[in-house]
Structure 1
């Protein structure tokens, strides 16, 4: 999944999300548990902002700090209904400054 998000050579975010939707629908069987991965500066405020995006979803969480504890990686497995639901989560998290989606 990482290369789907990282490969952002599209002309616009609309094109990117359209392409992402096609890839998700081709490779996943929704509804399902979907794994989201993010890297963020190890700041409690930023991590809490990400958690809030998942408030209305059933999810499990794993965190890991980088070697020097400057960054935290978050792996969040959440039950999603369809590709649009996945994209909605990525868009909401994308509004949080300094978060890298994988």
Structure 2
């Protein structure tokens, strides 16, 4: 995603989150990640200390892992900050 599309996407997401939730609120992140321990660990570390519940499901061939993360976030900006941090990891798809 290029910078302009990224900025537009995050602005729209922030607006939607602000309109649909009262903050702080529970939020669920979903990612698809190559099944490499270092990538899974990086994502876990991003949510470390937030009381997140992380559920991993490995694909049938073991190539990818689906990660669902349930966590209480303080604001739409906090949600977006975590998406950007995870987005720095190569090969991660945000759903």
Q: Same fold (TM over 0.5)?
A: yes
Residue in structure 2 matched with residue 12 of structure 1 by the alignment: 5
Aligned-residue offset at 1:11:
4.1
Instruction: Look up the SS of the partner of 1:12 in the other structure.
Output: helix
Q: Report the Cα distance in structure 2 between the residues aligned to 1:11 and 1:45, rounded to whole angstroms.
A: 30
1:47-86 mapped onto 2 (5 Å cutoff): 47-86=40-79
Structure 1 position 33 matched with structure 2 position 30: no
Root-mean-square deviation (Å): 1.5
- The correspondence for 2:93, drawn from 75, 86, 100, is 100
Residue in structure 1 matched with residue 15 of structure 2 by the alignment: 22
Gaps of 5+ in 2: none
Moved over 3 A (4+): none
TM-score (normalised: structure 1): 0.85
Gaps of 5+ in 1: 1-7
Residue in structure 2 matched with residue 91 of structure 1 by the alignment: 84
TM-score (normalised: structure 2): 0.91
